[in-house]
Every structure is written in C-alpha cells, then in structure tokens.
C-alpha cells in the first residue's frame, strides 16, 4: 500500500500523462483498502464504547449523523441511519433478553471478524479462509440460536491457532472459550 501511495503521489507531481494514467489504475484497490480500514477502525472504536460524536470529531466530520452515514456507506448496507439505529436497538434488546453470554459471544465473533478483515493475506492463508470469514459475517448479526451454530462452524473452518497470526489466534481462542461457556443463555 505504501508503494502504491508513493507511486500515486509521484505521478500527481509529474507532468506525465502516461504516468498519471498508470497511477489511476492503482486508485481503486487503494481506495477499497482504505475504506475497509476505516470501517474496521470505526467498528473497533464503537466496540470500545466510543460515541458517534467522538468518531465524527476524529474523522473531521460535523455531526454524529455524518459519522453514522459514512459508516453505513462503508458497510454498503444502503440503510439509512434511522433504520440502522432501530436494527441495532432490536439486536441489543434480543441479546439482553438472552443474557450476557449471547452478548459476549457476539462481541467475540465481531472481534475475530474485524481482525480477519484487517489481514491483507487472509484469503491466501488456508483453503477455507473465505468460508470462515463469510460465516463470521453472518454470525455478527444473527439471531441467538444461529449465532451459536455459525460461530461454531466458523471456528471449525479455521486451522489450529498455532497456524494463524497471533492477533487472529487470540481472538479465535477467546471466541472458542466464550462458546464453551454457552451452557446457559440466561445469567
């Protein structure tokens, strides 16, 4: 990514149309990577308790609504902020009803997903890498019953922790440990 950025900046400073055209081909993949990184950072900040207003300030946006809208654009859900808020409230209500274990499993699954999506080499790491990622994406917002099944399946698709990057292995281990305490869905 750094090399692509240097190439882009050098081409922008030069008066060479061929270099500019060649550099333009690098913009799409670089923009996609930056968008993914921005989405992951916002998700991480939200998971850590940051408000939309705080995120808006960090992004130099003028309102919390603007930060939420930007996040929705990055997630490509096409959902407006009111609908997204209502969906989040429903999910939180369902999770609260089913107890803290569901919330812990969902949080652990989302953490693992964020770490996987931040790994540029993920799809090349092992045969079922994309399947594990897709399953975790479904688990992130799944109803409680499906959450157990999807996270269990995603973990089964992963290689042993020793074969994964440390941050991903740590998140997978946390999810596995959280699932092993699923006997009771009520506190």
pLDDT given for residue 79 in this prediction: 62
pLDDT averaged over the chain?
86
Q: Tens digits of per-residue pLDDT, 1-29?
A: 778 888 888 888 888 889 889 889 988 88
How many residues are recorded in the chain?
187
Q: Tens digits of per-residue pLDDT, 97-106?
A: 677 888 899 8
Give the start-to-end residue ranges of the domains of the chain.
1-78, 86-187
Q: Tens digits of per-residue pLDDT, 113-138?
A: 999 988 989 999 999 999 999 999 99
Taking the CA atoms of the chain, what radius of gyration do you get in angstroms? Answer: 19
């Amino acid at each position: 990514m750094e090399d692509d950025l240097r190439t882009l900046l050098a081409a922008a400073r030069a008066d060479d149309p061929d270099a500019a055209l060649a550099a333009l081909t690098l913009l799409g993949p670089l923009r996609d990577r930056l968008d993914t990184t921005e989405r992951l950072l916002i998700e991480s900040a939200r998971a850590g308790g940051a408000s939309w207003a705080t995120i808006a300030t960090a992004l130099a946006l003028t309102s919390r609504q603007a930060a939420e809208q930007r996040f929705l654009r990055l997630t490509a859900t096409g959902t407006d902020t009111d609908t997204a808020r209502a969906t989040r409230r429903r999910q939180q209500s369902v999770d609260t009803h089913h107890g803290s274990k569901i919330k812990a499993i969902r949080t652990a699954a989302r953490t693992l997903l964020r770490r996987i999506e931040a790994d540029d080499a993920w799809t090349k790491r092992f045969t079922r890498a994309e399947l594990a990622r897709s399953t975790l994406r479904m688990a992130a917002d799944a109803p409680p019953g499906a959450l157990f099944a999807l996270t269990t399946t995603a973990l089964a698709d992963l290689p042993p922790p020793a074969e994964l990057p440390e941050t991903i292995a740590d998140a997978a281990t946390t999810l596995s440990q959280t699932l092993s305490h699923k006997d009771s869905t009520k506190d």
